[in-house]
Amino acid sequence: MIGRVLPTTVVALILLFLALPIVVVMVVSFSSATYLTFPPPAFSLKWYEAYFGNADWLRPTWLSLWVAAAVVVLSTVLGTLAALGIARLPRALRIIATGLILSPLIVPVIVVAIGIYYAFSRYGLVGSPFGLVLAHTCLAVPFVVTSVSASLAGIDPRLEQAALSLGATPMGTFNQVTLPLIRPGVLVGALFAFITSFDELVVALFLSGSRAITLPRRMWDDLRFQIDPTIAAVSTLTIVLTVILMACAHYLRKRAEQTRMSTSSVAP
Amino acid sequence: MVPLLLAAPLVLYMLAFYALPVLAMLMRSISDPTWSLTHYKDLAGDPVFIKVFWNTLETSFIVTVSTLLLGYPVALALVRAPKWAPLILILILLPFWTSVLVRSYAWMVLMGRHGLINEALLAAGLLERPLRLLNTPLATQIAMTHILLPYMILPIANALRQIDPSLARAASGLGATPFASFRQVTLPLSMPGVAAGVLLVFVLALGFYITPAMVGGPREITLSMLISQQVEELNWAYAATLSAVLLATALGIIALFYRLPGIGNAFTTSGR
Amino acid sequence: MAAELGASVALRDLEKSYDRVAAVAGVSLDIRSGEFLTLLGPSGSGKTTTLMMIAGFETPTGGDIAIDGTSVVGMPPYRRNIGMVFQNYALFPHLTVAENIGFPLKQRGVSKEDRARLVGEALELVHLPGYGGRYPRQLSGGQQQRVALARAIVFKPRLLLMDEPLGALDKQLRENLQLEMRRLHADLGITFIYVTHDQEEALTMSDRIAVMNDGLVAQVGRPEDLYDRPSNRFVASFIGESNFLPAIVRALEDNDVVVAECQGALIRAVCPSRPAAGDKVMLTTRPERLRFTDGAWNSSTPQNRLSVTVTEAVFAGERCRYMLQAGDGTAVVLKEPSSAAIRRRAVGEQAEIAWSVADTILV
């Protein structure tokens, strides 16, 4: 008995540890209390009203959405083109280019943030949404490139040869075969890019200045002075948004994998 | 020619808006006020730096060990209990997909004076007065463990999934008890995943900034926080020196781990 | 009439090397209009590289490829108008069966209505009517193979290339599809160039076979020619099973017959070339064409005879297989149809074997 019950209990407790904080934030956001108490005395939507009724919250929200949307466009275009190019580069060049493009995944974000701040402050790009878009794109691009590269690597080169043998020009082959097959990878990369920008705080702390306040930056500033449940409401909304987007990405990736597996299943 | 033209825009973009700015900033560590290595030499006798650097390494180490201890059983359950796997995966991914800021905030809510933890302990009669949890090193360690746990679970689960299940059957067929077959077959074969998880968690923990700033103690600051403070004081030479040390530490650890087999693409395959 | 439907292909000293390593080292081959020609060889023999050069996916480093007398070197694959069936079929996973088959028609600007009609006809031809709306992943391996075939012929190319198209299928299905492909070849009348490493498949289907080895054509000929008259040791051992007997040429007779000394016996062998007396040569025979004589063999055809010892005897159902040893230790295999009326030889038994001169080839 103990042989099965004990490990199960341990795993269940660890999973509780993983899920609890998220659940607590969601519950608190519906609390009627002004101060953070748990469990909440009564149910209320007043913190959501406080959020939706306050321009100081809505302005940063719109800014974050706009910046993230611009980052998606810029990083998806640049990243997809680069992934297509990198796959066909000679080995030495490919390693150098990949190293540069993926390095933001490894370099501590504070180093990236102050490096960009150091340069951007000289060109008036601090306190401007444009500066945020340029900086966030650097952080988002690695996700686009890895995602698109992975789906490119999954394409059987014979599919492109088949298209050519059937009379499709190289451009026709790209449009009718390559592009549809990497589309899920591009979409997943775009979703990651959106969330990377939308959730980003460290770079925003330096680049937002006083005029380009993003939503995470607004939350951060608020937490310095008070922790009222409005932030819980905002947090819950961002959790819901990111979970929906990530679930889409997860689903797209799984489906693309299945399509690929089933067509190569007859391989010897 | 065409491949080069396709890759060039992004490469130039990354050089202009990321690599060159970071390099220019790092140069301040050896060019400010004059060209010299003084700033690096000074670090050895700098008590603030030594305390902060040590605290950063210690925190990263504690978080790595605790994520490993908590992560391995979950990874094992994820692979060994297919019936529960979807639920377990959701419970791992839900916090994984939530921003660091929101998760740090969640721990502020949980660990506050009137937070869930204190209230629960008081109600159970285990405490008479609320514990001071928030703004302590322990709070940082707990919150960072929570945030980095998925980075440990996913690579380990990946490695476990690749182990041929017939090996465990073969081991028990040869007379190994379940524990012995785990210790002698499963555990050694999952080591590449463990190494990848340890590398990811340790390197990410080194650069943590938001969480220790939000829930950590006012005196136990991390290297990232010190760098940020120095930038706010426009002390660029010192900030650049610290940045170079932080970057070199992270790269050094990665280089060390890449000599182990099976790490390969720890950073690129684990995604976000 | 039918012959004019197919393209003729001429390969002239065709070469392809990668980093100075030759994958194809000078192949010359004339493939006739309407012919079913198989490139047969072990992996690494250059057969697939040759096919890829004909298709236009590899650029020759030397020599020429002419289709219907016109050189196609330098012409991109999409202008060659050649049908091709790939290993693993290379069906587009994001398109339906009908869209896959309609793909080449779409590239050629065929109208939607004509496309639908031609796709329907192609599906009929490969016995898959009504499958147009499915996706490749919803089909079995054999069905995917037929779709790939339909896609490669729907635009009526005059030349069809196939790269191990049956390699991934099980034996039963492979044999059915072999027959179907022969029938299709007869119906369409176009030229087929087929690549395989499976000698049985090559023997069953082809009009002619080009056996390839080390980037060169070892021999070209009809299946029965290759089997009965292998021109070199590689072909003799790669196609079917062969015995090899070292011998020394003693005399030359008329009608391409050579007398050679082997194990102290004089053996007559067929030889198109004329070696000189005293040359060391290799004689080859097929195991199923050898017989035990029982001392009382009388046949009107000229016979070779050899004394042997039985070293191993295996009963394999329809055949008995014997491992024999000649005087100097050379191993010889003999296969005999099994029959309750024939006495089985015991290990260690002395015996004499005989076979016809026409089945003895000097290689």
pLDDT in tens, B212-230: 999 998 888 999 999 999 9
Q: Which residues of A touch C167 (CB under 8 A)?
A: 268
Report the residue of chain A nearest B112, measured CA to CA.
Answer: A36
Q: Which residues of B touch A28 (CB under 8 A)?
A: 109
- Which pair of tokens denotes residue A44? 């209320």
Q: Which residues of A touch B91 (CB under 8 A)?
A: 15, 18-19
- Minimal CA–CA distance to C226: which of C248, C211, C204? C211
* pLDDT for residue C1: 40
> Could you tell me which residues come within 8 angstroms of residue A133 by beta carbon, excluding any fewer than 6 positions away?
A67, A70, A71, A74, A197
Q: Which residues of A touch C90 (CB under 8 A)?
A: 156, 158-159, 161-162
- Minimal CA–CA distance to B143: which of B151, B155, B134? B134
Per-residue pLDDT tens digits for C195-210: 999 999 999 999 999 9
* pLDDT for residue A260: 62
Does the global pTM surpass 0.95? no
H helices present in A154-214, as ranges: 157-165, 170-173, 179-199, 202-207
* pLDDT for residue C340: 81
Mean per-residue pLDDT of chain C: 90
Whether the CB-CB separation of C278 and C248 falls below 8 Å is answered with yes
Q: Is the pLDDT of residue C162 over 70?
A: yes
Amino acid identity for residue B42 in this structure: D
- Minimal CA–CA distance to A218: which of A8, A18, A16, A65? A65
**pLDDT interval class at C295 (50, 70, 90):** low
Q: Does C156 touch chain A (CB under 8 A)?
A: no
Fold of B47-269: MetI-like fold (1.10.3720)
* pLDDT for residue C301: 64
Residue C90 and residue A267: Cβ atoms within 8 Å? no
Tens of each residue's pLDDT in chain B, 272 residues: 788 999 999 999 999 999 999 999 999 999 988 898 989 999 989 999 999 999 999 999 999 999 999 999 999 999 988 889 989 999 999 888 899 999 999 998 889 887 788 888 888 888 888 888 889 999 999 999 999 999 999 999 999 998 887 887 788 778 778 788 888 888 888 998 999 999 999 999 999 999 999 999 888 899 999 999 999 999 999 999 999 999 999 999 999 888 775 555 555 444 33
* pLDDT for residue A34: 72
**Termini Cα distance of chain A:** 46
Determine the average pLDDT of the residues in C25-49: 94
SS (H, E, C) A18-84: HHHHHHHHHHHHCECCCCCCCCCCCECCHHHHHHHCCHHHHHHHHHHHHHHHHHHHHHHHHHHHHHH
Residue among A18, A84, A114 minimizing CB distance to B149:
A18
Beta-strand relationship, C191-196 and C36-40 = parallel
**Which CATH architecture is the domain C2-236 placed in?**
3-Layer(aba) Sandwich (3.40)
- Which pair of tokens denotes residue A228? 């009222």
- Minimal CA–CA distance to A262: which of C292, C91, C347, C209? C91
Q: Which long-range contacts (CB under 8 A, 24 or more apart) does A30-37 make?
A: A31/A229, A31/A232, A33/A229, A34/A228, A34/A229, A35/A228, A35/B114, A36/A227, A36/A228, A36/A229, A36/A232, A36/B109, A36/B112, A36/B114, A36/B115, A37/B114, A37/B119
Q: Is the pLDDT of residue C305 over 90?
A: no
Q: Does residue B33 have a cis peptide bond before it, meaning omega lies within 30 degrees of 0?
A: yes
CA–CA separation, B182 vs B198, rounded Å? 20
* pLDDT for residue B269: 43
- Class assignment of domain A57-260? mainly alpha
- Class assignment of domain C241-362? mainly beta
CA–CA separation, A21 vs A24, rounded Å? 5
Q: Closest Cα of chain A to C80: distance in Å?
A: 8
Calculated CA dihedral for residues C269, C275, C280, C284, nearest 10 degrees: -30
Neighbours of C253 (CB within 10 A): 11
Domain limits of chain B? 47-269
ipTM of the assembly? 0.90
Whether the CB-CB separation of B58 and B262 falls below 8 Å is answered with no
Domain limits of chain C? 2-236, 241-362
CA–CA separation, C59 vs C17, rounded Å? 10
* pLDDT for residue C254: 76
pLDDT greater at residue B127 or residue C109: C109
B and C in touch (3+ CB pairs within 8 angstroms):
no
Whether the CB-CB separation of A144 and A237 falls below 8 Å is answered with no
Candidates A160, A171, A176, A266: best to mutate against C (most CBs of C within 10 A) is A266
Whether the CB-CB separation of B27 and B38 falls below 8 Å is answered with no
- Minimal CA–CA distance to C286: which of C363, C204, C219, C202? C363
CA–CA separation, C141 vs A27, rounded Å? 53
Q: Which residues of A touch B11 (CB under 8 A)?
A: 82, 97, 100-101
DSSP-derived letter for residue B114 is T
Candidates A6, A93, A114, A117: best to mutate against B (most CBs of B within 10 A) is A114
Determine the average pLDDT of the residues in C95-122: 95
Domain limits of chain A? 57-260
Radius of gyration in angstroms for the set of CA atoms belonging to chain C, rounded to a whole number: 25
Q: Does C104 touch chain A (CB under 8 A)?
A: yes
Determine the average pLDDT of the residues in C174-196: 92
Q: Which residue has the tokens 């285990």?
A: B126
CA–CA separation, B133 vs B216, rounded Å? 9
Q: Which residues of C touch A158 (CB under 8 A)?
A: 86-88, 90
Q: Does C93 touch chain A (CB under 8 A)?
A: yes
Residue A167 and residue C88: Cβ atoms within 8 Å? no
Q: Does A177 touch chain C (CB under 8 A)?
A: yes
Tens of each residue's pLDDT in chain A, 268 residues: 446 778 889 999 999 999 999 998 898 899 888 766 667 778 889 899 999 999 999 999 999 999 999 999 999 999 999 999 999 899 999 999 999 999 999 999 999 999 999 999 999 999 999 999 999 999 999 999 999 999 999 899 899 999 999 999 999 999 999 999 999 999 999 999 999 999 999 999 999 988 999 999 999 999 877 767 889 999 999 999 988 998 888 888 888 777 665 444 433 3
Residue among A18, A25, A112 minimizing CB distance to B105:
A25
* pLDDT for residue C148: 95
Q: How many CA atoms lie within 13 A of B151 on its CB side?
A: 26
